Amino acid sequence: MSKIKPSKGAPYARILGVGGYRPTRVVPNEVILETIDSSDEWIRSRSGIETRHWANDEETVAAMSVEASGKAIADAGITAQQIGAVVVSTVSHFKQTPAVATEIADKLGTNKAAAFDISAGCAGFGYGLTLAKGMIVEGSAEYVLVIGVERLSDLTDLEDRATAFLFGDGAGAVVVGPSREPAIGPTVWGSEGDKSETIKQTVPWTDYRDGEVAKFPAITQEGQAVFRWAVFEMAKVAKEALDAAGITSAELDVFIPHQANERIIDSMVKTLKLPESVTVARDVRTTGNTSAASIPLAMERLLATGEAKSGDTALLIGFGAGLVYAATVVTLP
């Protein structure tokens, strides 16, 4: 018989606060058209994107994360010293080590919180949220800060007609804490590594280091393949998340999918047969695709504008490079 004492975690976990940071520079489609042969109408019709935000030299991954996290901590009504763990999802922090989460935890003034980065692309926020829920229920932390942050402008090939217009920068953060009732549903997640070539970095860093390529590595994708996968397969995953949470689409208040492309969002809404009463996040129009940051940024905007309210039931789904995905139903803070 085991001598290990049982964990003393909370019965459930919930999102208690949310915060976001968008860089000050707003980049319209006209700027993108300086380097690709396209049009504003084509970009809008293909993606829904009108503008995106690009970071300046001071708006680093860490700096944007600290700004978003400070808002989330204040929104949750706690102090940084109460944060027991910091989980950061990003693919655009260019130091292999140490994890940027450790820098963020220190700058926020946490009390030596556990801190680590994860790399799960556009599904990264969902992965981090799932880890946070586990920590709280298990008892290893009372409050967990989950951050999705990207500077994808650093990984954008402005001459690639398929991707130059897609990506933006920003940070979104949530505080996850204890709850007396279920407020974060079961996560439906997974990967399809056989499709990893559809979204990828053009070449390894070592090829650039060794002079085998002259162009800095960037993110590229097979647009049509990604579109088909997202529309048909991710709608199934979203439905599984609803079923796992024990609710129907008719009981849903808000839908916050990864802000990859408005055509994908529209197609998912149609496939899921969401009623018109469901508020759908469309932050992609003015923020672009910010990968791991897109879901918390969209959540923050919906709450700030009043399009969604505290206590609403929301379906979250992220999907992207890997290919990886994660979907869950949550109660909004």
Catalytic sites, residue numbers: 122, 258, 289
Number of helices (H), then strands (E), in the chain: 11, 14
According to DSSP, the residues that pair with 116 across neighbouring strands are 87
Q: How open is the CA angle 324-173-130, to the nearest 5 degrees?
A: 45
C-alpha span between 106 and 216 (Å, rounded): 31
Burial profile 249-271: b = 16 or more Cβ within 10 angstroms, e = fewer: beebbbbbbbbbbbbbbebbbee
Structure tokens at 102: 């450790």
- Rounded to the nearest 5 percent, the helix, strand and coil shares of the chain are 40, 25, 35
Q: Give CA–CA dist 90/15, Å, rounded.
A: 20
Task: Say which residue the tokens 């860089």 belong to.
Answer: 23
From the number of C-beta atoms within 10 Å of its C-beta (0-12, 13-18, 19+), residue 169 rates as buried
- Rounded CA-CA distance 264/257 in Å is 9
